[in-house]
Amino acid sequence: EVFVLNGKFVDQNNAIVSAEDRGFQFGDGVYEVIRAYNGKPFCMDRHLSRMKQGLEAIRIPMPLGIKEFEKLCNEALEKSGLKEALIYIQVTRGAAPRQHIPPKGLKPTFVIIVRGTPDIPPELKEQGVKISLSPDIRWHKCYIKTVQLLPNTMAKEEAKEKGAFEAVFFRDGIITEGSSSNIFIVKGGRVFTHPANERILHGITRGVAIEIAEGLGIEVEERAFSPEELLKADEAFLTGTGTEIMPVVQVDDDIIGNGKPGHITKKIMEKFKEITNCL
Ligand code: PLP
């Protein structure tokens, strides 16, 4: 594992930030997770530009330029010696005596952590997973990848207790996204996913999956769908940096399609694997 704190490589024991960091006290910051395949970061430019947009949205200055972040991430990845890795980046507003209004001119705190990829058993990709529905109690700026993740972590934990791989949120009669993934359904040969608006994180893997589907000549509609439509779907799948593309075969007690990963899902997974294998 490699730790970088404010641009300097440090041991884990020295990766220490102030007790008055606004990330710690207010969840005042954003993060990114970039996956590396074969020692090469996948879609790093898209992740870093989303991070820049998120920081702009909450008015934290970028502590480094995109190019410098890119260089530092590459250096950290190389130092880790890992070929398959997750690069975690977190930027918070910085440290100041606790009060809601941040003082002017704070220096953002930023951390980069490189570690191995999560071990998701390969059988899950072959057999598909169960998901569990959970009310979406989050705010209306879900496009910002903020470190304030309590609704997500709580929903995921409850889903795990129900034997589900992921919690999927619904709000106002529509399915939004997973606690750390986006969700797609397939119906009548067409693919549907929630539009990229303020109710979801505009997942990088979501974007890649849409491009793959379109490249395969499959029609994609960015249109919200209801829990009922999810239950009646022919196929469903999740997308995410850690999750990659994961078939969904069960929603709580209901089976999706024939209970096996669908053929359009499998085609998209195959292409995704091909792309990431060729990095
Ligand atoms: N939605 C949420 C709420 C997430 O936290 C994540 C990733 O962690 C995603 C979707 C998937 O985004 P990406 O494909 O960029 O990893």
pLDDT, tens only, 86-138 = 999 999 999 999 999 999 999 999 999 999 999 999 999 999 999 999 999 99
pLDDT band at 30 (very low <50, low <70, confident <90, very high): very high
* 160 is annotated as an active-site residue: no
Instruction: Quote the mean pLDDT of the chain.
Output: 98
| HEC readout, the chain | CEEEECCEEECHHHCCCCCCEHHHHHCCEEEEEEEEECCEECCHHHHHHHHHHHHHHCCCCCCCCHHHHHHHHHHHHHHHCCCCEEEEEEEECCECCCCCCCCCCCCCEEEEEEEECCCCCHHHHHHCEEEEEEECCCCCCCCCCECCCHHHHHHHHHHHHCCCCEEEEEECCEEEEECCCEEEEEECCEEEECCCCCCCCCCHHHHHHHHHHHHCCCCEEECCECHHHHHCCCEEEEEECCCEEEEEEEECCEECCCCCCCHHHHHHHHHHHHHHHCC
- What's the confidence (pLDDT) of residue 73? 98
How far does Cα 217 stand from its chain's mean position?
26
- What's the confidence (pLDDT) of residue 142? 98
User: Residue 193: CB within 6 Å of ligand 1?
Assistant: no
User: Residue 250: CB within 6 Å of ligand 1?
Assistant: no
- The best mutation among 49, 53, 137, 182 to test binding of ligand 1, ranked by most ligand atoms within 8 Å of the C-beta, falls on 182
- Predicted TM-score of the model (pTM): 0.98
- The best mutation among 88, 153, 241, 245 to test binding of ligand 1, ranked by most ligand atoms within 8 Å of the C-beta, falls on 241
Query: If you average pLDDT over residues 51-65, what whole number do you get?
Result: 98
CATH of domain 2-116: 3.30.470.10
Cα separation of 84 and 34, whole Å? 11
Query: If you average pLDDT over residues 52-73, what whole number do you get?
Result: 98
User: Residue 136: CB within 6 Å of ligand 1?
Assistant: no
pLDDT band at 256 (very low <50, low <70, confident <90, very high): very high
- What's the confidence (pLDDT) of residue 149? 98
Cα separation of 257 and 269, whole Å? 17
Backbone angles phi, psi at 36, to 5 degrees: -110, 135
- What's the confidence (pLDDT) of residue 127? 98
- What's the confidence (pLDDT) of residue 189? 97
pLDDT digits (tens, 9 = 90+) for 202-227: 999 999 999 999 999 999 999 999 99
The CATH class that applies to domain 122-277 reads alpha beta
Answer yes or no: are the C-beta atoms of 58 and 144 closer than 8 Å.
yes
Residue nearest to atom 8 of ligand 1 (CA): 180
Answer yes or no: are the C-beta atoms of 56 and 49 closer than 8 Å.
no
Residue nearest to atom 9 of ligand 1 (CA): 181
Query: If you average pLDDT over residues 253-277, what whole number do you get?
Result: 98
Instruction: Tell me the C-alpha to C-alpha distance, in Å, between residue 114 and each of 15, 118, 226, 239.
Output: 13, 12, 37, 21
Residue nearest to atom 1 of ligand 1 (CA): 181
Query: If you average pLDDT over residues 181-206, what whole number do you get?
Result: 98
- Can you give the residue ranges of every domain in the chain? 2-116, 122-277
- Choice among 125, 130, 145, 271 that is catalytic: 145
ipTM for this prediction: 0.99
